[in-house]
Amino acid sequence: MSVPRTHPLSTGLTSRSALVSQLRSDRSRGTPVWFMRQAGRSLSEYRALRSNYGMLESCLTPEVAAEITLQPVRRHGVDAAVFFSDIVVPLLLAGIDVDIVAGVGPVVAAPIASNRDADGLRALDFDALAPIREAMAAVVEELGATPVVAFGGAPFTLASYLVEGGPSRDVPKSRAMMAGNPDLWATVLEWCADITAVFIEAQVTAGASVLQVFDSWAGKLTAEEYRRYAAPYSTRLFSQLQHLVDSSGQPVPRLHFGVGTAAILPEMLAAGATAMGVDGALTLAQANTILGGKIPLQGNIDVGLLEAEWPILKNHVLAVVESGQVAPGHVVNLSHGVPKDTNPDVLTKIVELVHEVTP
């Protein structure tokens, strides 16, 4: 299915942007830069707005979600906006009692622990995503030629919250379910894949020009565990997004990113991505070699250096840009999300530097 004829990829507004071009292995339009978790946390204007809204309330109030999405584009001059939402929003809209607790993260009131619990899982109604589509449409109209990145959580990461009840360093309940009740594990992850596919599709059809799947906890698995317990469900998610193409038949670029995933990059790519995000465990040149030199890369400024003296950070950014030159395409980003205490002026300087050295 093509995206709507009025979609910015189909009209040409964003198909010629640096972001989309690089993710389609076209280096003719310079190297773009944006930051994961750029929409929030480190910005005073974000904190001021969020003081009046809970996290999930912000995500589902269209004018608030749109404003937060736009703030870092205005502040930093980045080459893309990433839509402001959260990977657990599909859980909430599908009827799961979930909240995001300050200082903790997503907390699920009744975690899935049995087959009976899973019987209550229901499909995500596309109509429930109206606030998401409304916010995205407002952002797309405001940004014009600047593309928006849609996103969702990979099934393993989303399921880890659903099974553990919240963030967990070692995901013991998930591991127990994998080993002791693999059928239930499959049911939960298939459901997570399906609701996230609907969530991402709603963002893309409303105007997002790129999509990214985050697997924040995939690095907790061994390569064999990933292949057995996570990869099939990420493949299920991506397979439901492959029909999203523009009017010329080119696919909406599909990014896949995880933390601590150096050992499973090929498997993550094989799940259905058209480009890969890289964390800080590898240089981009090393990742390019591992992936056969055939795929655009995104990354990977070390977030641990964002507080370093500027000459040190500057040299690091330049090294990242140079390392990325070997790949078919390169989007500058971070090794993870923006830490909340980051000086936003530093992010602006990084954007200016990347634009200066990669016109």
Q: Is residue 295 part of a domain?
A: no
CA distance 259 to 57: 27
* Degrees, nearest 5: CA angle 267-270-273: 115
How large is the angle between the packed helices 344-357 and 62-76, nearest 10 degrees? 60
Q: Where are the beta strands (DSSP E) in the chain?
A: 81-82, 98-101, 105-108, 148-153, 210-215, 254-258, 275-277, 297-298, 330-331
Q: What CATH number does residue 101 fall under?
A: 3.20.20.210
Which range of residues forms the domain containing residue 247? 8-279
Q: What is the pLDDT of residue 1?
A: 64
Residue 93: CB atoms within 10 Å: 23
User: Peptide bond preceding 343: is omega within 30 degrees of 0, i.e. cis?
Assistant: no
What does the DSSP 8-state code read for residue 3? Answer: P
Instruction: State how far the Cα of 226 lies from the Cα of 232, in Å rounded to an integer.
Output: 9
* Three-class DSSP category at 130: helix
Whether the CB-CB separation of 41 and 55 falls below 8 Å is answered with no
The Cα–Cα gap between 69 and 44 comes to 14
Is pTM beyond 0.95 here? yes
Total domains in the fold of the chain: 1
pLDDT number for residue 39: 72
Within a domain: residue 87? Answer: yes
Query: Does 252 map to a domain?
Result: yes
Look at strands 330-331 and 297-298 and give their pairing.
Answer: parallel
The per-residue pLDDT for 169 is 84
Which regions of the chain are under pLDDT 50? none
Element (H, E) at 137: helix 130-143
Task: With respect to residue 329, please indicate whether it lies within any of the assigned structural domains.
Answer: no
> Is 207 within 8 Å of 139 (Cβ atoms)?
yes
- Identify which of 137, 231, 239, 228 has the alpha carbon closest to the alpha carbon of residue 196: 239
**79 within a domain of the structure (yes/no):** yes
Continuous H helices in the chain: 8-11, 18-23, 44-50, 55-59, 62-76, 89-93, 115-118, 130-143, 155-164, 172-180, 182-205, 223-229, 231-239, 265-270, 284-290, 310-324, 344-357
Paired strand residues for 130: none
Task: State both tokens at 112.
Answer: 């899935």
In a domain, 288, yes or no: no
Instruction: Give the residues across from 80 on adjacent strands.
Output: none
Residue 258 domain flag: yes
Task: Give a yes or no: residue 358 inside a domain.
Answer: no
For residue 359, the model assigns a pLDDT of 72
The residues facing 332 across adjacent strands are 33
Alpha-carbon gap, residue 218 to 343, rounded angstroms: 29
Helix (H, G, I), strand (E, B) or coil at 17: coil
Give the three-state DSSP class for 348: helix
Are the beta carbons of 140 and 66 closer than 8 angstroms?
no
